[in-house]
Amino acid sequence: MAGKDIFNVEVFFIVFREALEAIIVCSVLLAFLQRSFSSNTDARVYKSLRKQVWLGMAAGILVCFILGGAFIGVFYTIGSDIWSKSEDLWEGIFCLIATIVISFMGIPMLRIQKMQDKWRVKLAKSLLEDPHKEKGWKRFIKIGYYTKRYVMFVLPFITCLREGLEAVVFVGGVGLTSTGSNRATGFPLPVVCGLICGIAVGYAMFYFGKSASMQVFLVFSTAVLYLISASLFSRAAWYFTNYQFNKATGGDASESGSGPGSYDVTKAVYHVNCCNPEIDNGWDIFNAILGWQNTGYYSSVICYNIYWLVMIVVLGLMWYEERFGHLPGTKDTHLRDLNPMFQLKKKFGVVSDLSEAEAEALVEKVHKVKYNENGELIVEEESQEKEVEEKSAELKQVQNVNVEAK
Amino acid sequence: MISYRFQFLITLVGLFNLVFSAGDASLVNSTFNSTIGSVEYYDLTNISYTSGETKTFYFDVTYFYASPDGFNRTVVGLNNTWPCPDIHVNRGDRVLIYVTNKLPDQNTSLHVHGLFQHGSAQFDGPEMINQCPIPPNETMLYNFTVPDQAGAFWYHSHTKGQYGDGFRGAFIIHDDTDTEVWDYDEEVVLTISEWYHTLSGVLDKSFLNVNNPTGAEPIPDNLLFNDTFNSTWQVQPNTTYLVRIINIGAFVSQYLYMEDHVFTVVEVDGVRVEPNVTDVLYITVAQRYTVLITTKSDDSQNYAFVQGVDEGMLDVPGTFSHNVTNQIVYNADAARAGDYIIESDDYDILDDFYLQPLNKEILYDDYDYQIEVNVTMNNLGNGVNYAFFNNITFTPPKVPILNTVLSAGENATNPIVYGTNTNSFVLKKDEIVQIVLNNQDTGTHPFHLHGHTFQAVIRGPDYSDEADPIPYDSSNFTSDVNDYPMMRDTFYVRPQSYFVVRFKANNPGVWFFHCHIEWHLSQGLAIVLIEDPEGIQSDSRQQLSDDYKRVCEKQGISLTGNAANNSVDYFDLTGENVQVAPLPDGFTARGIVAMVFSCLAGVLGIGAIALYGLSDIKNIEAKVAQDLDLNIEEVEEADENSSVTEIESSGPNSKK
């Protein structure tokens, strides 16, 4: 427990990951600006816009800290009462949530340029879309609807806020897995470390480019992240088994230390009367990273192995798809097509299934964007207006021709 | 209520077949209200054996319904009634009890608690030790005498937790000298016990269960006082009562306290002691205290008689009332006494260790044979919590120990024939035996020795607060040892502490020594003492009765053979009953397999991550450049200047 009271490893990695993502957002925006101003020499506007990006990010993170602190505070004040009773059940559920979250967000770290691509397209869309063209309520959620002038501030602000809040929610959830209903003391240090590492890595990437050693670092941290995730999955199963046992025994077991009686002998694969991660110092870190328990249940051991098996298969499929453009045994099926969430999003048009060429065109467009002296976006609206004017002009001409013909 | 109870019993005589073959040697002993005697030195052990009468009882063990505390439940009663009657006999009587098992679905047995059973070990009761269990529809005659004991005893089933279901009652041996020794006007019996609303068999199943890994004893539903709840004791003013207080419960110790009255203890467990006045009695299950209670001359007020549970014995408090206030009623028209709560810290509680027997039997100055046992509680491989003496949980042999004694010939002196899992010790005739008991458990345990009263030599203090139990250290022997130690048959040990008791092996027989908490007995907290086996074999009275043999035959249990039912080779214990295998100590084969597979899975998984992650590393520079939208051409141009050879080797298509 002592270890976890000071440094919660899961929290560190989540914060690290989200910080990295925030940095990527900024780097992409800065790159856009750089391209737009490469031919332009209005250094004053460029500087001011760059300042907006940094300020937006800083403000986003700040607000996120405030909201997040309040959120976690409330979460724990209310939460500690709710789940102190069936602690093992809740710990199991939060372990499960954490493992799902980490599993889905970990792998993209290995393809950092994909992450960057994603953000490039996303941000390009945000910049270029004319919110006034949207019909009904949808336009109110578009950033550009409210401001054009401070788009370079608002965009990183909103993005950092959203990413950050996501992190807070996960940190809150994951933190609950750290045994016991109220263990918030294990948060500050890993949050700070995660922020520092995330920013450092992002900064290094932006200024020094992606190097082999950077990739090795990312591989290493992803491996650690998945070790944790596998252990969380195993622990979820362990907690569920223990919850059942505690229910059957009337909550006796948790009081009996690590000796006989503290575990369900009928479901145990192994047990040692020591090294209890919930009692003995040191073993809790072993538990956090490698999922160690002094009682191995069939469920926890099997879940640990299954987790890795699934991971290996998924990574194999991803590798194959990257290499050959589709999944083995199919012609045009992609991994994401197997994701029900993706299908759902596609159905409701939340995901625009842009082709690569379309995405490139979008990005190209952003590069041609012009800013006025106030730093407002000007170019694409004009061009659109021009297009409309031209079209209407053509229409008029055609109409005129028709009239003349009559 | 107590006096009423006693009179009620008289009516039972006719009703329930309690037949006295000795005619009108009445149950209501005329000496009860006899004249006042004076307390004087009286040596029970030197009493010449009086040739008494023969008293015959018929016990049909039957199911019955009873609601002593308002909750109607199935009980095990006698002769289709409940509570079970009090039995009164006189010292020197021969007692015949015909026990017929009319329970359709379980065995039974009868033990009269505290009797020496000289020459009649086969009628002591514990099944698979002193007899075969009586099957349904079978009768067994218990035939014994009570030549040299008097006082408060009790009888109960010695089959599993059966007596907790109601098969228990007082067994009082009166003595002609009672009235000479004690100054009293009237005699009453007061039984106390805890009470469950669930049959013991049901409780036992959930108690000895993998889902009860801590061995938490079932929590009682109530405390009974003379087998009723919130009772009333109608008393006369200016009267001295001789009250036989017996804890006939199966689990919890109780405190007894009377508002503005005192107990004068004069006898414990059938041993007369120097009178000792106390406010509060602490009585474990199976213990008896005979006390004098003198009422007030003023009969205008009623008083509380409080019984309180020893809360330290409860795993969780439960929902039942830990303090029950009964009424000492002087005046039925006056207000009832208010409720009282015994706070054990507030009173001077009798420590029975310092009582002194009237006969002033001097401490045996040394011992010939020592049995040192450590009490522990732990889980075995099936996840059930058991109790152990020296890491052995008593597991009944296939043949009752007494059968083995009588059939093993000269091998009977070798403890091995009684099996490896019965914790059997063979005692030589007339040796002084010392039992050192180290309680490594955190609970209080009342230990009972059959066939003897023992000298309570040492009892250690409560070591609950110590990190580890404190064992007996023989170098401390001289401190706190009484010259005339208290003697009794049920003696409690304090948490994480110890006691030392001594007795003389002058009563050939097979004697069970066990914790009298029935839950702990079912967990195996028992040893067996085989005292002078040759003396048993050579005594014609000890030969098995026809009833005994028939009961064994009905049960399909052999009359001969060792613990493994081997009558040919008594040293061959193949097939004996043994305790469940212990929980594996650390990793077993499957644990190692699980670990290896998990480690392998982890390593392979990390390998997969590394392979996937690093497979991206090809043409990484170009990708990064593209990704970051840096003005790569310019950068590269700058680079090219410094590395011309590379550009040349890249062919004609390279940039200008």
* SS3 at position B371: strand
- Chain B residues with CB under 8 Å of A301 CB are 594, 597-598
DSSP assignment of B142-196, as one string?
EEEE-SS--EEEEEE--STTGGGGT-EEEEEEE-TTHHHHS--SEEEEEEEEEE-
- How near does any CA of chain B get to the CA of A102, in Å? 14
Interchain CB distance below 8 Å, A312 and B211: no
Q: For chain A, what is the domain count?
A: 1
Q: Is it the case that residue B340 has pLDDT exceeding 70?
A: yes
Q: Do A265 and B383 touch (CB under 8 A)?
A: yes
How far apart (Å, rounded) are the C-alpha atoms in residues A34 and A13?
31
Q: Which range among A35-44, B54-63, B366-375, B554-563 shows the weakest confidence by mean pLDDT?
A: A35-44
Q: Pick from A256, A265, A316: which is nearest to B214 by CB?
A: A256
Q: Identify the band that residue A119 occupies on the pLDDT scale cut at 50, 70 and 90.
A: confident
d(C-alpha B568, C-alpha B37), whole Å: 60
Kindly report the nearest CA distance between residue A125 and chain B, in angstroms: 17
In a domain, B512, yes or no: yes
Partners of B626 on chain A (C-beta within 8 Å) are: 113
Average per-residue pLDDT for chain A: 73
Q: Are residues B155 and B220 in the same domain?
A: yes
The pLDDT score that the predictor gives to residue A66 is: 83
Residue A112 lies in a domain: yes
State how far residue A84 is from chain B, nearest Cα, in angstroms. 19
How many angstroms away from the CA of B581 is the closest CA of chain A? 13
Q: In whole angstroms, what is the distance from residue A254 CA to residue A269 CA?
A: 19
Contacts of B210 in chain A (CB under 8 A): 264-266
Residues recorded for chain A:
406
Check CB contact of A324 with chain B, cutoff 8 Å: no
**Structural domain contains residue B583:** no
Q: Are residues B223 and B271 in the same domain?
A: yes
Q: How many helices (H) and strands (E) does chain B have?
A: 11, 30
Containing domain of residue B459, as a range?
369-555
Long-range contacts, stretch B361-364, CB < 8 angstroms, 24+ apart: B361/B45, B361/B455, B361/B484, B361/B487, B362/B483, B362/B484, B363/B455, B363/B457, B363/B481, B363/B482, B363/B483, B363/B484, B363/B485, B363/B502, B364/B432, B364/B455, B364/B502, B364/B504
DSSP B496: T
Looking at the structure, tell me whether residues B495 and B398 fall in a common domain: yes
Residue B573 lies in a domain: no
| Residues B436 and B341 occupy one common structural domain | no
Q: What is the mean pLDDT of residues B632-655?
A: 42
Please write the tens of the pLDDT for every residue from A85-114: 567 787 788 788 778 877 877 777 777 767
Residue A387 has pLDDT above 90, yes or no: no
Pick the last residue of a domain from B354, B382, B410: B354
Which of A118-122, A152-156, B234-238, B281-285 is least confident?
A118-122
Cβ contacts (< 8 Å) between B608 and chain A: which residues? Answer: 311-312, 315-316
Contacts of B597 in chain A (CB under 8 A): 301, 305
B215 CB-near residues (< 8 Å, 6+ apart): A261, B207, B377, B385, B386, B387, B519, B523
Which residue in chain A has the smallest CA separation from B626?
A113
Q: How far is A268 from chain B (nearest CA, A)?
A: 9
Within the 145-204 window of chain A, which residues sit less than 8 Å (CB to CB) from chain B?
none
Give contacts of A367 with chain B, Cβ < 8 Å: 629
Task: For residue A402, tell me if it sits in a domain.
Answer: no
- pLDDT at residue B350 tops 80: yes
Select from A120, A210, A307 the Cβ nearest to the Cβ of B620: A210
**Domain match, B255 and B394 both:** no
Residue A296 domain flag: no
Q: Does residue B364 lie in a domain region?
A: no
Per-residue three-class SS string for chain A: CHHHHHCCHHHHHHHHHHHHHHHHHHHHHHHHHHHHCCCCCCHHHHHHHHHHHHHHHHHHHHHHHHHHHHHHHHHHHHHHHHHCCCHHHHHHHHHHHHHHHHHHHHHHHHHHHHHHHHHHHHHHHHHHCCHHHCCHHHHHHCHHHCCCCCHHHHHHHHHHHHHHHHHHHHHHHHHHCCCCCCCHHHCHHHHHHHHHHHHHHHHHHHHHCCCHHHHHHHHHHHHHHHHHHHHHHHHHHHHHHHHHHHHHHCCCHHHCCCCCCCCCHHHEEEECCCCCCCCCCCHHHHHHHHCCCCEEEHHHHHHHHHHHHHHHHHHHHHHHHHHHCCCCCCCCCCHHHHCHHHHHHHHCCCCCCCCHHHHHHHHHHHHCCCECCCCCECHHHHHHHHHHHHHHHHHHHHHHHHHHHC
Read off the pLDDT of residues A165-179 as tens digits, 9 standing for 90 and up: 777 776 666 655 544
Which range among A89-98, B74-83, B597-606 shows the weakest confidence by mean pLDDT?
A89-98
Note whether B282 and B192 are same-domain residues.
Answer: yes
- Give the residue on A whose Cα is nearest the Cα of B316: A252
| Pair B143, B189 in one domain | yes
Asked if the Cβ–Cβ distance from B614 to A215 is below 8 Å, we say yes
Question: Which of A99, A311, A363, A369 best tests the B interface by mutation, with the highest count of B CBs <10 A?
Answer: A311
> Is A335 within a domain?
no
Among residues B330, B354, B378, which one ends one of the domains?
B354
Q: Indicate yes or no: CB of B613 within 8 angstroms of CB of A264.
A: no
Residue of chain B nearest A255, judged by CA positions = B214
CB < 8 Å to B602, chain A: 227, 230, 290, 304, 308
Q: How far apart are CA A243 and CA A91, in angstroms?
A: 10
Q: Residue A143 and residue A128: Cα distance in Å, rounded?
A: 11
Angle between helix axes A87-106 and A212-249 (nearest 10 degrees) is 160
Distance from C-alpha of B573 to C-alpha of B79, rounded to nearest angstrom:
42
Cβ-based contacts of B590 with chain A (< 8 Å): 269-270
Q: In terms of Cα–Cα distance, which of B309, B295, B514 is closest to B393?
A: B514
Q: Across residues B43-72, what is the average pLDDT?
A: 79
Residues B84 and B110 in one domain: yes
Domain assignment of residue A39, given as a range: 2-255+348-395
Interchain proximity A212–B378, CB inside 8 Å? no
* Same domain assignment for residues B228 and B258: yes
Mean pLDDT of B92-98: 95
Do both B10 and B55 map to the same domain? Answer: yes
Q: Report the residue of chain B nearest A313, measured CA to CA.
A: B608
Chain-wide mean pLDDT for chain B? 87
Whether B386 and B280 share a structural domain: no
* Integer Cα distance of B250 and B252 in angstroms: 7
User: Which residues lie closer than 8 Å to B392 by C-beta, 6 or more apart?
Assistant: B420, B421, B423, B524, B579
Which chain A residues in 342-361 lie under 8 Å from chain B, judged by CB atoms? none
What are the tens digits of pLDDT across the range A292-311? 888 899 999 999 999 999 99
To test the contact with chain A by mutation, choose from B523, B616, B639 the residue with the greatest count of A C-beta atoms within 10 A, namely B616
**Which of B321, B354, B387 finishes a domain?**
B354
Is residue A268 domain-resident?
no
Domain of B136: which CATH number? 2.60.40.420
CA distance A80 to chain B (A): 24
Can you give the pLDDT at residue B37?
A: 32
How many domains does the structure of chain B reveal?
Answer: 3
User: Same structural domain for residues B377 and B228?
Assistant: no
